[in-house]
Structure 1
Amino acid sequence: MTNIKKVSELAGVSTATVSRTLKSPELVTEHTREKVMKAVQQAGYRPNWLATSVKTGRSNSIVVLVPNLVNPFFMRIIEGIEQGAQEKGYSVLLGDTQGKASREHEYASMVLTNRADGLIQLDHSFPFSANDAALAEKVPMVSVCERIEGERRYPFIELDNYAAGRALTHHLISYGHSRFGIIAGQRTSQIHHDRLAGIKSVLKEEGIDFADNMLVGGSYRIETGIEGIQQLFDRDVPVPPTAVFCFNDDIAVGALYELKRRGLRVPQDVSITGFDNVKVSAYMDPPLTTVDQPAYEMGRRAVDVLAQLINRQPLQRTREILPFQLLERGSTGPVKI
């Protein structure tokens, strides 16, 4: 097996620096880290994490709880988590919870039994059972996109969803729209409240009324988009919406499908917006106007924060807000006169 001395020769650094980079990469410069990791790859070096775990009492693994593993947005976050974890010497254990509390409890308990050193939650729920809640108080845990429910404020990496909701609303109003529908995802999450608050704040500033019955949906599925359009356009309302906010791109896919099935044109008759910028959104017909989230970077940053918690290093801040970009594409346009 290639040893650490070979890696140090290839990287042009000491064996102590190689060891420090592999065990605590945050303690070395980015330039040094890149040199060492490149040398590790060239040499085919495989650190003996098992021996290290016996000495330290750590597993060198982290658990990632995913509410829906087939969601392409979550997969982009996981890519970032995997890369960040690999650089820090952690293996990643994925738990597809399918939104079920029992599955969350089972996967989360791995941290309590020393099978994992920390946990990243991609949903808003507190993942431990009531029986384990007291034991979980000191568990290193970070949430991405969402904020974990409960009195304790766990660190979280998120987007400014309020500002993104405002940006989408300003965009549609600039095209003359004043009758809006919203197809929402999980209504109990902070994401929902922030995006909705952002939309409503702009409508209030512009003097545009929003009827509560124009808010439908309740999950981040393609079927939610189909059902949402059916509800918005089959109701006995004087005039249907000319623009529909979809709270993720999957919902927008279903909404676009149902609008076309009804013979309505996008954006000539109805404008549609999504959220997340999954890869397929740029290739839809028409391409989807959406909000791009830096999902990969969110995943990498979550590992950085989790590693600090595992190593009991102080955090400079517990909330990190990453930038978004509004991508204006063909699914939005001027209101039909």
Structure 2
Amino acid sequence: MTNIKKVSQLAGVSTATVSRTLKSPDLVTPQTREKVMKAVKQAGYRPNWLATSVKTGKSNSIVVLVPNLVNPFFMRIIEGIEQAAQEKGFSVLLGDTQGKAEREHEYASMVLTNRADGLIQLDHSFPFSDNDADLAASIPMVSVCERIAGHPDYPFIELDNYAAGRALTHHLIGYGHKRFGVIAGQIASQIHHDRLSGIKSVLTEEGISFDEDMLVGGSYRIETGIEGIQQLLAHKQPPTAVFCFNDDIALGAIHEIKRHGLRVPQDISVTGFDNVRTSAYMDPPLTTVDQPAYDMGRRAVEVLSRMINRQPLTRTREILPFSLIERHSTGPVHQD
């Protein structure tokens, strides 16, 4: 059956406009209505799902946008989402966006066209297209871990990343480290800003300078850790400790440090972030920050459910606790 996207392409309007025309034709201009209905006829579109949606007003489905399904941290969040969604009678539609705006727009439009009741975003980007931005203002949407850039009014579930950055820094300074490197994830995100600010705040308090050239990275991939270590070791005075902004980055970093004939932590200490299941089995086991990913996912569904049912929220920001897990990838600074 021809889908609504084909109709929108033929009519030269968004999928949301097609849906609105079919559901509430009085809300669109006569010119738009004519274009859409002509396209519906041309495409042979028969929106069978619409009749059920109109009767109930709900689809009992939610969309979850995931930037990378391979990331084990996201899978833990999804476990929590799935469990809570089942308990509340929602089915979950996973959209693996790969960080691409076009994919986000397509999946997000499902909420605008009544194929889903709400949306959970696991990335920091606003998932709706410019054409659909006005319609999206009233859409139930919750972000997890990240905050949606430029849209602070949407509720979000997060960690106190600033405090976590401080905790990691105090831990490494306690071992005598003064030269630090940072291998970051998405530099444009609030997470990056908060973690880096936490690190720098402690360094300032301790009178330790931070060389901005020691900030590298830009994605949450294992390869980012490998490339980051290559850059950091090229410096005249390489760091004695490296903050990795997730555990995948740390895995790549440890691999590359060893490939250069160096030891962890005797030559370079390494910290991660997330405490994915494999972090305890790395060689050496990884010092990292544990995020309650499963609980984050559950809480996101609970908040989204209240929004879908038009129940008031007591707050739009929820901060969940973290734990610093000290393992063997960090230790005393090597004395030259």
TM-score interval, normalised by the smaller of the two chains:
0.7 to 0.9
Shift, 1:75, TM fit: 0.1
* Aligned equivalent of 2:200: 200
Once the two structures are superposed, residues 59-91 of structure 1 have per-residue CA deviations (whole angstroms, 9 ceiling, x without a partner) of 000000000011000000000000000000000
Corresponding letter in the other structure for 2:104 = E
Q: Secondary structure at the match of 1:241?
A: coil
Partner residue in 1 for 2:258: 260
| Structure 2 partner of 1:177 | 177
How far apart are residue 52 of structure 1 and its match?
8.5
Partner of 1:126: 126
CA distance in 1, matches of 2:96, 2:130: 21
1:82 matched to 2:69 = no
Query: Is it true that 1:186 corresponds to 2:179 in the alignment?
Result: no
* Counterpart-to-counterpart distance in 1, 2:304 and 2:172: 38
Q: Distance in 1 between matches of 2:247 and 2:220?
A: 8
Matched residues in 2 for 1:151 and 1:61: separation? Answer: 23
Which structure 2 residues correspond to residues 1-337 of structure 1 after superposition, within 5 A?
A: 55-235=55-235, 237=236, 239-337=237-335
TM-score of the superposition, structure 2-length normalised?
Answer: 0.84
Distance 1:158 1:240, change over 3 A: same
Aligned partner of 2:5 in structure 1 is none
| Letter matched to residue 327 of structure 2 | R
The letter for the 1-side match of 2:64 is V
CA distance in 1, matches of 2:65, 2:109: 12
- Whether the aligned pair in 2 keeps the contact of 1:266 and 1:272 (CA below 8 Å) is yes
- Partner amino acid, structure 1, of 2:70: V
Q: Which amino acid aligns with 1:128?
A: F
Partner SS, residue 275 of structure 1: coil
Distance 1:220 1:271 in 2: 19
- Alignment partners' CA distance in 2, 1:267 and 1:151: 41
Deviations 1:22-67 (A, max 9, x none): xxxxxxxxxxxxxxxxxxxxxxxxxxxx998664221000000000
Contact kept, 8 Å, 2:53 with 2:114, in 1: the verdict is: no
Contact 1:53–1:60 (CA under 8 A) maintained in structure 2: no
The percentage of counterpart residues that share the same residue type is 83
The answer to whether the Cα contact below 8 Å between 1:277 and 1:292 also exists between their aligned partners in 2 is: yes
Counterpart for residue 8 of structure 1: none
- The CA RMSD measured in Å over matched residues stands at 1.3
SS of 1:76's partner is: helix
Contact 2:126 2:151 in 1 (8 A): no
Find the residue that maps to 1:79 and give its secondary structure.
helix
Q: Is the alpha carbon distance of 1:186 and 1:303 closer, same or farther for their aligned partners in structure 2, counting shifts above 3 Å?
A: same
Query: Following TM superposition, by how much is the alpha carbon of 1:233 offset from its aligned partner in structure 2, in angstroms?
Result: 0.4
CA deviation vs aligned residue, 1:290-325 (integer Å, no higher than 9, x gap): 000000000000000000000000000000000000
1:182 aligns to what SS in structure 2?
strand
Number of equivalenced pairs: 286
SS at structure 2 position matched to 1:134: helix
- Gaps (5+ residues) in structure 2? 1-49
- Measure the CA separation in 1 of the matches of 2:106 and 2:175: 49
Contact 2:123 2:146 in 1 (8 A): yes
Does the CA-based 8 Å contact 1:162-1:198 persist in structure 2?
A: yes
Q: 2:137 is paired with a residue of what secondary structure?
A: helix
Equivalent position of 1:43 in the other structure = none
Give 2:220's aligned amino acid. Y
